Amino acid sequence: MLKKRVSLRDIAEKAGVSTALVSYVLNGKKNRVGKEMTDKIRKIAEELNYEPHHVAKSLRSGKTFTIGLIIADISNPFFANIARVVEDEAKQYGYTVIIGSSDENAQKSWDLLHVLLNRQVDGFIIVSAENSQKNILLLKEKKIPFVLLDRHFPDIHTDFVTTNNYKASYDATVHLLGNGYDDIALIAYDSDMYHMQERIRGYHQALSENHIVPRKEWLKKVPFSDMDTRVRIAIDALTTGTKPVRAILFATYGLAINGLKYINEKKIKVPDDLAIVSYGQAEVFDLYYCPISYIRQPLEQLGKTAVEMLISKLKNPDETMKQVFMEAKLIARDSSVPVRVKTPG
Amino acid sequence: MLKKRVSLRDIAEKAGVSTALVSYVLNGKKNRVGKEMTDKIRKIAEELNYEPHHVAKSLRSGKTFTIGLIIADISNPFFANIARVVEDEAKQYGYTVIIGSSDENAQKSWDLLHVLLNRQVDGFIIVSAENSQKNILLLKEKKIPFVLLDRHFPDIHTDFVTTNNYKASYDATVHLLGNGYDDIALIAYDSDMYHMQERIRGYHQALSENHIVPRKEWLKKVPFSDMDTRVRIAIDALTTGTKPVRAILFATYGLAINGLKYINEKKIKVPDDLAIVSYGQAEVFDLYYCPISYIRQPLEQLGKTAVEMLISKLKNPDETMKQVFMEAKLIARDSSVPVRVKTPG
């Protein structure tokens, strides 16, 4: 067992097909070989303990057929799910994905980049951490193909695919205004990242266009590292006093989860006491007693497009740069239904 | 920028400390260097664009200071969170983790193993997919250090750290019986994996010890690949007919999420119509209108122990094998409170 190296020809003979067809199937190229034949060839390969000879293949082609994916936080379901999409899509092209998580930490993302560089991945897909610009500059300097996913740095000219966050916040705010909520708060991260700035800008713009002067105390910026405590403080400030807000827009999934837990504790009723819209998508929003309206980022399309862009760049390194903004979609549900006039008592 | 290689000595000089101390800090050894000094040294290293010379280090030591982590499904929050723990812990020892996800697919886990092997990781931590025994046999044959995490194969002698799943199911079932529920169903995966078999065995044992003959139709085995539809069919069967069950134990988080969605659709009231206990842990269980009782697996301890075991094995490859079972803890909440006698009407 596992002694003699099994060749493509061995598999082809056993399957009664051409070596080319076996190669086609086992390299996972997008193809029109029927599922039955694909399964048969894969099964025989497995029975024979076929080991694809990555090293030999990479020596011939100079490629390793491996993509390095650096995500910002593996414990965030948005990134975990996008990683799954990237893997599935890369597999269609015969690429394997190895993943590192930077935990939103610039130093860690720098270390990871080097670990993966030393392991000779063909290219990178990166969800950048804050202050990690020098990673990008290094890749550009070394002329290593990469695509930024979900987040980008507007001052650095790169390929990227991201959500139009400005528009998403704008739409969510207009939706709340349209349903009769006028005092609308935004709880965001205290971050210089462009996507977060855009989420704030869209919110401000929607208020201004509707002749509402955004009050400074409506925008709460919470540090990622102390989210739990600081979201509570923010909600206390927003929901008490003489003029409590009528709606909160959460700029991330993590902020919303922490916020909803505290809102439950305080026995604030959604949407009667407080309307909610949030970024992110997760089972929690479906199963909450009052289904939460959310901004659905095009997770599947973002992941797929990043892979397609990278593969295309690997084939043709001189290709023109691509910068893709995708639209998020507001999914309106019970947590932001039109204001109900309270009956007295 | 990034031209001349920065040495540890450069950093030491700038920080006014010894080169040894800088090495100590930057290699991330568990240490007693104060946080302030650690931060200072890291900051200087970053300012100088210090690049740890992994390759040179690995040539000297024969080590790459990299751990390959293969998880069963990155989109499952249990594994995504355990990956986060493994990374944090590995970092304490100066190791970087690169991750692959097998999507519960034996072929994919085989491919991933080879991709990571070719990239010279020092050792592996693996959450095994079903039918992936040959991965383990290959690692044993090649004498590559590894630790199995969360799942193991009882017929293959290896190091592993896992939850005592038998005991966890047993405890959950006894809890339900003690609270007055006697017709208890189990929805599990249709899987040969040992951990799943143990979850079933504990449930059966608890019923038998309490003089309840487990009815065959109470155990629903659902294939992973068709979970959505099949959970609905199972719940329909369990909650209708002449003798609907009074409680359901879900053997995984994914099963519970699908189940709860359908239970909501059917307007079944938890716990009055149906009590619920589930494996897994997630925000959903906290934020559900009736907080869900769950089996808390020792996620943090499992991840940490796997890293410690692997590091110790890397230092001393002849170390005796270790097989660790950890206890899960039942967190009883509203979804399984003692049966309330219904008032008529």
pLDDT at B56 (0 to 100): 46
Is the pLDDT score of A345 beyond 50?
no
Q: Write the residue in A2, A100, A101 that is nearest to B141 by C-beta.
A: A2
Task: List CB contacts (< 8 A) between A115 and chain B.
Answer: 54, 66, 96, 98
B286/A contact by beta carbon, under 8 A: yes
B94/A contact by beta carbon, under 8 A: no
From the list A269, A277, A251, the residue with the least C-alpha distance to A331 is A277
Number of Cβ atoms within 10 Å of the Cβ of A21:
18
The residue whose two tokens read 């290689």 is B5
B81/A contact by beta carbon, under 8 A: yes
Between chains, do B49 and A134 touch, taking CB under 8 Å as contact?
yes
Closest residue, chain A, to B100 (C-alpha): A98
Is the pLDDT score of A46 beyond 50?
yes
The answer, yes or no, to whether ipTM is higher than 0.95 is: no
B325/A contact by beta carbon, under 8 A: no
Q: Write the residue in B107, B120, B284 that is nearest to A283 by C-beta.
A: B284
Tell me how far apart the alpha carbons of residues B255 and B201 are, in angstroms, rounded to a whole number: 18
Please write the tens of the pLDDT for every residue from B44-88: 877 777 766 544 444 445 678 999 999 999 988 899 999 999 999
Q: Of all helices (H) and strands (E), which one includes residue B224?
A: none
Give strand ranges (E) for A5-133. Answer: 66-71, 96-101, 123-126
Task: List CB contacts (< 8 A) between B1 and chain A.
Answer: 137
Query: The CATH number of A63-162+299-326 is which of 3.90.70.10, 3.40.50.620, 3.40.50.2300, 3.20.20.70?
Result: 3.40.50.2300
Is the pLDDT score of A47 beyond 90?
no
Please write the tens of the pLDDT for every residue from B277-296: 999 888 889 999 999 999 99
Tell me which residues of chain B, numbers 130 to 149, contact chain A at a CB-CB cutoff of 8 Å.
134, 137-138, 141
What average pLDDT score do residues B222-247 get? 94
Task: List CB contacts (< 8 A) between A107 and chain B.
Answer: 42, 46
Between chains, do B52 and A286 touch, taking CB under 8 Å as contact?
no
CB B146 within 8 A of CB B128: no
Is the pLDDT score of A134 beyond 50?
yes
Is the pLDDT score of A108 beyond 80?
yes
Between chains, do A99 and B103 touch, taking CB under 8 Å as contact?
no
pLDDT at A14 (0 to 100): 85
Closest residue, chain A, to B120 (C-alpha): A119
Is the pLDDT score of B4 beyond 80?
no
What average pLDDT score do residues B247-270 get? 95
Q: Write the residue in A52, A114, A287 that is nearest to B288 by C-beta.
A: A287
pLDDT at B1 (0 to 100): 35
H helices present in A220-287, as ranges: 227-239, 253-265, 283-287
Q: Write the residue in A46, A120, A282 that is nearest to B107 by C-beta.
A: A46
Q: Which CATH architecture has domain B63-162+298-325?
A: 3-Layer(aba) Sandwich (3.40)
3-state secondary structure chain B: CCCCCCCHHHHHHHHCCCHHHHHHHHCCCCCCCCHHHHHHHHHHHHHCCCCCCHHHHHHHHCCCCEEEEEECCCCCHHHHHHHHHHHHHHHHCCCEEEEEECCCCHHHHHHHHHHHHHCCCCEEEECCCCCCHHHHHHHHHCCCCEEEECCCCCCCCCCEEEECHHHHHHHHHHHHHHCCCCCEEEEEECCCCHHHHHHHHHHHHHHHHCCCCCCHHHEEEECHHHHHHHHHHHHHHHHCCCCCCCEEEECCHHHHHHHHHHHHHCCCCCCCCCEEEEECCCHHHHHECCCCEEEECCHHHHHHHHHHHHHHHHHCCCCCCCEEEECCEEECCHHHCCCCCCCCC
Q: Write the residue in A55, A96, A110 that is nearest to B112 by C-beta.
A: A96
Chain A: nearest CA to B205, how far in angstroms?
A: 32
Is the pLDDT score of A183 beyond 90?
yes
Between chains, do B100 and A100 touch, taking CB under 8 Å as contact?
no
Closest residue, chain A, to B257 (C-alpha): A283
Return the minimum-mean-pLDDT range out of A41-45, A229-233, B213-217: A41-45
Chain A: nearest CA to B182, how far in angstroms?
A: 27
pLDDT at A76 (0 to 100): 87
What is the rounded end-to-end Cα distance, in angstroms, of chain A?
80
A80/B contact by beta carbon, under 8 A: yes
B261/A contact by beta carbon, under 8 A: yes
pLDDT confidence band for A61 (50 / 70 / 90): low
Between chains, do B75 and A77 touch, taking CB under 8 Å as contact?
yes
Between chains, do B77 and A74 touch, taking CB under 8 Å as contact?
no
Interface size between A and B, measured as CB pairs under 8 A: 135
Tell me how far apart the alpha carbons of residues B277 and B176 are, in angstroms, rounded to a whole number: 8
A196/B contact by beta carbon, under 8 A: no
pLDDT at A6 (0 to 100): 72
CB A253 within 8 A of CB A78: yes
Between residues B114 and B41, the one the model is more confident about: B114
Between chains, do A99 and B96 touch, taking CB under 8 Å as contact?
no
Query: The CATH number of B165-297+331-336 is which of 3.20.20.70, 1.10.10.10, 2.40.50.140, 3.40.50.2300?
Result: 3.40.50.2300
Between chains, do B54 and A118 touch, taking CB under 8 Å as contact?
yes
In the 8-state DSSP scheme, what is residue A74? Answer: T
Q: Write the residue in A84, A88, A99 that is nearest to B98 by C-beta.
A: A99
pLDDT at B3 (0 to 100): 45
Is the pLDDT score of B225 beyond 90?
no
